[in-house]
Amino acid sequence: MVISQQALQKVVSSEKISVPQSAIFQLPEKILQFGTGVLLRGLPEFFIDNANKKGVFNGRIIVVKSTNSGDTNAFDEQDNLYTICVKGIENGNKVEEFFLNASISRVLSAQDEWNTILGYAADENIRVVISNTTEVGLVLKEDDSILAKPPLSFPGKLLAFLHQRFLHFAGSKEHGLVIIPTELIPDNGKKLQDILNRLAGLNKLDEVFIEWMNTANHFCSSLVDRIVPGKLKPDEKKVIENQLGYEDDLMIMTEPYRLWAIEASDKKVNEILSFSVIDEGVIIAPDITVYRELKLRLLNGTHTLSCGLAVIAGFSTVKDAMQNTTFRKFVNNIMVDEITNAIISENLNHAQAVEFSKKVIDRFANPFIEHFWLNITLQYSSKMLMRNVPILQKHYEKNHSAPSLIALGFSGYILFMKPVRIEGDKIYGGTEKTPYIINDDKAIHIAKHWQEKNIDGVVKNILSDNFLWETDLTQLPGFAEAVTKNCFSILQNGVEKTMENYLGK
């Protein structure tokens, strides 16, 4: 039995899963969402569905499928119902929960149903726009016309929708929208607003409309953080379907951790986004910088400082490494003892950072997610520059000696980037028996540093390379010496014993 609105009559609510009440399907459509990806289903739609089930917000979602890839058949066949499997570790305890999501009312194709989508601009109930079109989708296409059916880009489609709404409601400021992009770009709301303004100029739209767009609508930057691997493995999916009593081709998995930080200071935004009061994972604040800093430095930064060491140590996945006592202690200590002390400020206190670090440990240890270390090393050099060089610089603003564990992370990076052979444009690291491809735009550049005869020279050349770091890291007292010492130790004794020198057994 495939899940659908009719099939719900045969699905029995239980401790495993609750069945949506029929009243849910009569709720008005309040949200226009651009994108059908699993992140949107696993995070914003998760929050909205939970709020609806508790009698809060009481609105469903019109989803706009912007690309030509894939189709909407599965959504149509299942009346837009789908299961979210939440599996992982939370507060040190294993979690496995299932939610039958009924937040989507319809899925429309921008390519085939653009006029229908534009028609919703006249719907007074529509109050919110959400998007996740990937970073590539949040760009200005200068030749984009709002008269096209549909416009080429997501900003073009949104501008056409806003212009249609402006015309229908005669410029009424009461009919502005709350617009929340979730693309993984800093200040994504401001960037989207800037693109729309430039595109409005290129389309020669009236100044009165442009003023309405900027004053009647709320462009909210947001930060999303939840690992949503998406579809389950076929055998695992079958087991869950047998437990729940129905088939579901849209079933997805997420981790327990969830965060949607939305930047807004107008009380009206809070009123419109009333679903935020149901779950502490939704945060509306005038400034979300602190949440971005926690994620970038403690989650992403720790991943990047650990990945080279993990690969060299022979760990395939993050969860495998976290089962090793020494490696787990390294991950914990680098966050709590070094990164936290570097990043705390007037806006970010020690307790916040430590609490976030505990959640990172739970997320890294999730036994249900296969997160491969080699995937994390993608564009390793750029990630080290963006995520960890600022941490290092902040450390030295407060200290005069090298951070031992961060230095160890840099040693892992340098040794990981050592080429064992070059074939055309592909550079391989590791060993001849167990090679891996170094997927890094700077790999050729770094390979030249490895032509040095000794480790001391390699480390000095890489750390002093302004092209890599936009500064000379050898000027930081004791840092190059610490990194060099760790490289020698890893080559002679291995990663785990080198870590034990700092952590103890």
Beta bridge partners of 89: 94
> Are 317 and 447 found together in one domain?
yes
> Are 278 and 294 found together in one domain?
no
459 to each of 90, 381, 415, 463, how far by Cα in Å? Answer: 40, 14, 9, 6
pLDDT value, residue 424: 86
> Are 330 and 444 found together in one domain?
yes
> Are 303 and 270 found together in one domain?
no
C-alpha to C-alpha distance for 392 and 140, rounded to whole angstroms? 35
Helix then strand count (H, E) for the chain reads 25, 15
Whether 314 maps to a domain, the answer reads yes
Number of domains into which the chain is organized: 2
Closest CA to 66 of 202, 161, 142, 143: 161
pLDDT value, residue 303: 97
> Are 472 and 392 found together in one domain?
yes
| Alpha-carbon dihedral angle through residues 130, 135, 139, 145, given to the nearest 10 degrees | -50
CATH of the domain at 399: 1.10.1040.10
Boundaries of domain holding 148: 17-74+101-243+258-285
Whether 480 maps to a domain, the answer reads yes
The pLDDT tens digits for 254-311 are: 999 999 999 999 999 999 999 999 999 999 999 999 999 999 999 999 999 999 999 9
Residues of the chain with confidence (pLDDT) below 50? none
> Are 332 and 269 found together in one domain?
no
Go through the chain and tell me how many residues it has.
Answer: 505
Whether 87 maps to a domain, the answer reads no
> Are 324 and 180 found together in one domain?
no
Whether 2 maps to a domain, the answer reads no
Q: How far is CA 31 from the centre of its chain?
A: 21
pLDDT value, residue 64: 97
pLDDT value, residue 396: 97
Q: If you write DSSP's letter for every residue of 118-130 in order, what string do you get? A: HHGGG-TT--EEE
CATH of the domain at 26: 3.40.50.720
> Are 205 and 315 found together in one domain?
no
Helix axis angle, 207-215 relative to 154-168, nearest 10°?
100
> Are 463 and 418 found together in one domain?
yes
How do the residues of the chain divide into helix, strand and coil, expressed in percent and rounded to 5? 50, 15, 35
pTM: 0.92
Whether 7 maps to a domain, the answer reads no
> Are 398 and 476 found together in one domain?
yes
The share of the chain scoring above pLDDT 70, in percent, equals: 99
Whether 86 maps to a domain, the answer reads no
> Are 194 and 301 found together in one domain?
no
Whether 12 maps to a domain, the answer reads no
C-alpha to C-alpha distance for 10 and 13, rounded to whole angstroms? 10
> Are 65 and 137 found together in one domain?
yes
Paired tokens of 137: 């989708």
Whether 147 maps to a domain, the answer reads yes
Using left for φ > 0, alpha for ψ between -120 and 50, and beta otherwise, residue 61 falls in beta
